[in-house]
């Protein structure tokens, strides 16, 4: 899929999910912590969303990230993801969704490939936690004020509200990312 086609697909899925949630651009932007102008550009396909923006928008809308990437809902008690999953590429990242049963809202798993020539973007921040596991290559993880170099078989777990970004040290990097959202009312669930 070409980048313009990917952006159009994300734009359509995002707009449809917002309309189903009966939210205005302004309401969704406010809830997701984005500017209305930025959200409008995402919905028109003029702007490429970051992984953090996709995670935040999916959580705010109550849909899996895979839905915003154009995959239609998996209905059933369990979602099973085979080896031939569609991959979306943009800004030096290729993402393959690996989670998202019908009604899933708290956990997102994505297989990511970081191209070796990817220029590190501005650090991302979003609610929740992330866990990364390097499958191949050497990953550079900047989280908060720390920089970590992770080799195959190594993992990192961090608070995603801290500024963070990924890059490849040399050669491409393959990793699994699991992002978990913590609902605002979690304290009520455990009482």
DSSP per-residue string spanning 78-117: -----S----EEETTEEEEE---BTT--SEEEEEEEE-TT
Per DSSP, 124 falls in state B
Q: What is the model's pLDDT at position 77? A: 65
Q: Residue 178: pLDDT above 50?
A: yes
Quick one: 3-62 is in which CATH superfamily? lambda repressor-like DNA-binding domains (1.10.260.40)
Q: State the average pLDDT over residues 185-190.
A: 42
- pTM of this structure: 0.66
For residue 167, give the H/E element and its range. Answer: strand 164-168
Q: State the average pLDDT over residues 42-69.
A: 82
Q: From CA 118, how far away is CA 3, in angstroms rounded?
A: 15
Q: From CA 148, how far away is CA 177, in angstroms rounded?
A: 16
**Domain over 88-186 is classified CATH 2.60.120.10:** yes
Q: What is the model's pLDDT at position 154? A: 98
- The residue that leads in pLDDT, 144 or 106, is 144
Residue range(s) occupied by CATH 2.60.120.10 in the chain: 88-186
Q: From CA 132, how far away is CA 160, in angstroms rounded?
A: 11
Cβ 113 vs Cβ 174: under 8 Å: yes
Q: What is the pLDDT of residues 68-103, one digit of tens each?
A: 876 655 556 676 777 776 677 777 888 888 877 666
Q: From CA 113, how far away is CA 94, in angstroms rounded?
A: 5
Q: What is the pLDDT of residues 117-150, one digit of tens each?
A: 888 788 888 888 999 999 999 999 999 999 999 9
Q: What is the model's pLDDT at position 184? A: 57
Per DSSP, 51 falls in state H
Residue range(s) occupied by CATH 1.10.260.40 in the chain: 3-62
Q: What is the model's pLDDT at position 21? A: 85
Cβ 163 vs Cβ 157: under 8 Å: no
Rounded to a whole number of angstroms, the CA Rg of the chain reads: 16
Cβ 60 vs Cβ 74: under 8 Å: no
């Amino acid at each position: 899929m070409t980048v313009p086609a990917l952006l159009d697909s994300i734009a359509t899925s995002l707009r449809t999910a917002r309309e189903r949630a009966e939210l205005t651009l302004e309401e969704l932007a406010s809830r997701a912590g984005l500017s209305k102008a930025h959200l409008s550009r995402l919905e028109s396909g003029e702007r490429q969303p970051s992984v953090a923006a996709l995670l935040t928008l999916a959580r705010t809308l109550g849909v899996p990230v895979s839905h915003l990437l154009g995959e239609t809902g998996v209905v059933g008690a369990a979602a099973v993801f085979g080896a031939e999953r569609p991959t979306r590429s943009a800004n030096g990242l290729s993402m393959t969704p690996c989670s998202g049963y019908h009604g899933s809202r708290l956990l997102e798993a994505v297989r990511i490939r970081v191209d070796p020539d990817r220029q590190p973007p501005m650090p991302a921040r979003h609610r929740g936690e992330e866990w990364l596991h390097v499958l191949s290559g050497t990953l550079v993880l900047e989280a908060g004020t720390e920089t970590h170099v992770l080799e195959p078989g190594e993992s990192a777990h961090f608070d995603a509200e801290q500024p963070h970004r990924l890059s490849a040290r040399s050669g491409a990097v393959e990793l699994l990312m699991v992002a978990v959202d913590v609902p605002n009312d979690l304290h009520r669930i455990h009482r």
